[in-house]
Amino acid sequence: MSKPATIFIDGRKIDAFEGEKLLWVALRNGIYIPNLCAIRGKEHPSGSCRLCYVQVEGCSEPVTSCTLSVTDSLSVQTRSPQVDRLVKSAFELLLSHHRLGCRDCAKRKSCELLKIAKERGLKMKLTRLALLDQEAEVDDSAETFVFDRSRCVLCGRCVWICREVIKVGALGFSRRGIKRVVTTFQDVSLAQSGCIECGLCVEACPSGALYFKEGKKPAAAGQCSCRGG
Amino acid sequence: MPSIHVKRGVFLPLLEGEEELIRKSVSGVLQEYEAAQENLIPILLQVQEMLGYLPGPAMEQIAAALKIPAVDVYGLATFYNQFRLHPPGKHQLKVCMGTACYMVGGRIALECFERRLGIKEGETTPGREFSLERVACVGCCTMAPVVVVDEQVEGKVTPTRVDGILLSFEKPAAPGAEAAGQKGEDAS
Ligand code: SF4
Ligand code: SF4
Ligand code: FES
Ligand code: FES
């Protein structure tokens, strides 16, 4: 059991444990910090979405809270002009390869991009960047759900669930840089991939990339543990 | 508008007897290494050296031995340019994308080949006749844009030249046939 620590988030005194990642402490205490790629229980956070910045007292640059280990009397601010700028840019980068069209998106009620935008007053449109026109196929081969890559934000939650929780390992990342995608072995369709259609990846997906087909949402939802507490 | 094309991988069928060869080669390589994830790259490199590329069954066999999902092996093989996922063709076309070549139309040459052969860079035509790759500077920038055809360096590769290069393979390769093929059309 690790040592207790007392920390301050936006001036609020909070009890935590040393070594915990700040993001989870904040979320647990009802303080929202935007995040997409953080996965509870994942030993090495990928730190790839760059949305979870906070300003640490005594540090000149903001740091990502999903990788920041708590130490006693740590003091952070969730907002600062620097943090806001970084988050704004990271968010626009995400949108630049995300096919918008919230009106017809199956996830519009639970979409975390919309949540982040609302929370931080960010625009759901591109102002400085051009849209990457992705020629992505929609995979509707699975019986219960659809994978629309053009809305994938590469958070990796589905990959982690499929591998670490369900132990199927149908999904993974492939290629790199601008071509990075979530895919299956040799890009086969989900139906051919060994996927057992447990649906947990669909529940874990923060965007409209994975969604259940009409009327196919399983009744017993919410066993997914990646977001935890 | 910038665009990226990440199309579904199209993989050629194996040749007769190839599966057996793959299994044997991979088993051989696997015996030399401890079945640990950190050996994945050396294993893949060695398998590729033996087979010329990384066929699907090889990646699956390796994944099973290392007890990791096959998609992880695929992810790694697609991450590094070093790895080939398609068999080398009988004729290998390497289009230079070094700075000099890129600036004077290397991209155009590559696209011409892609269109003419009906494949994308990194792929191989169905009969395994041609494989198409991009390479970095091959050291003869003055001849840019450069294409290495098998071991032969071709300079100033304009779209007409692309046609010429491909035409030269249509007849039983006689030296000088390319030039003839290229001019033949206007002459007739
Ligand atoms: S439905 Fe389950 S098995 Fe299929 S890809 Fe998603 S997590 Fe993996
Ligand atoms: S499909 Fe969804 S869960 Fe998977 S990486 Fe993309 S956005 Fe994340
Ligand atoms: S949640 Fe921290 S970088 Fe994505
Ligand atoms: S850049 Fe093509 S040969 Fe140097």
Residues in chain A closer than 8 A to B75 (CB atoms): 172-174
Q: Would the CB atoms of A185 and B69 count as touching at under 8 Å?
A: yes
Full-prediction pTM beyond 0.90? Answer: no
**Ligand 4 atom 1 nearest Cα:** B98
ipTM at complex level: 0.87
Q: Is B67 on the interface with A (CB under 8 A)?
A: no
What pLDDT, on a 0 to 100 scale, did the predictor assign at position A109?
92
Is the pLDDT confidence value at B25 over 60? yes
Q: What is the mean pLDDT of residues B93-117?
A: 95
What's the pLDDT score for residue B11? 85
Q: Which own/partner pairs from A80-89 qualify as long-range (CB within 8 Å, at least 24 positions apart)?
A: A80/A55, A82/A53, A82/A55, A83/A53, A83/A54, A83/A55, A84/A120, A86/A50, A86/A53, A86/A62, A87/A34, A87/A50, A87/A51, A87/A53, A87/A120, A87/A122, A88/A120, A88/A122
User: pLDDT per residue over B55-81, tens digit each?
Assistant: 999 999 999 999 999 999 999 999 998
Walk me through the domains of chain B, giving residue ranges and CATH numbers: 4-79 (no CATH), 91-167 (3.40.30.10)
Q: Are strands A12-17 and B147-149 parallel, antiparallel or unpaired?
A: unpaired
Contacts of A184 in chain B (CB under 8 A): 71
Q: How far is CA A187 from CA A29, A136, B78, B93, in A?
A: 41, 12, 11, 25
**Regions of chain A short of the pLDDT cut 50:** 228-229
SS3 assignment, position A84: helix
Task: Answer whether the bond into residue B145 is a cis peptide, omega within 30°.
Answer: yes
Residue A215 has what pLDDT?
A: 87
Interface test mutation site (partner A, options B71, B84, B120, max chain A beta carbons within 10 A): B71
pLDDT at B175: 56
What's A177's DSSP letter?
G
pLDDT greater at residue B173 or residue A18 = A18
Question: Atom of ligand 1 at shortest distance to CA of A210?
Answer: 6
Q: Which CATH number fits domain A135-212: 3.30.70.20, 3.30.230.10, 1.10.10.60, 3.60.21.10?
A: 3.30.70.20
**The pLDDT value given to residue B10:** 72
The confidence band for B176, taking pLDDT boundaries of 50, 70 and 90, is low
Q: Collect all residues of chain A within an 8 Å Cβ-Cβ radius of residue B4.
A: 132-135, 178-179
User: CB-CB: which of A135, A174, A186 is closest to B5?
Assistant: A135
A57 touches chain B (CB under 8 A): no
What is the predicted pLDDT for the residue at A162?
97
CATH 3.30.70.20 residue ranges of chain A are 135-212
| B141 CA from centroid of ligand 4 (Å) | 4
Chain A stretch 189-208, residues whose beta carbon is closer than 8 A to a beta carbon of chain B: 193
Averaged pLDDT for residues B15-31? 94
Q: Verify whether ligand 4 is closer than 6 Å to residue B95 (CB atom).
A: no
> In the Cβ-directed half-sphere of B69, how many Cα atoms lie within 13 Å?
25
User: In the CATH hierarchy, which fold is given to the domain comprising A4-80?
Assistant: Ubiquitin-like (UB roll) (3.10.20)
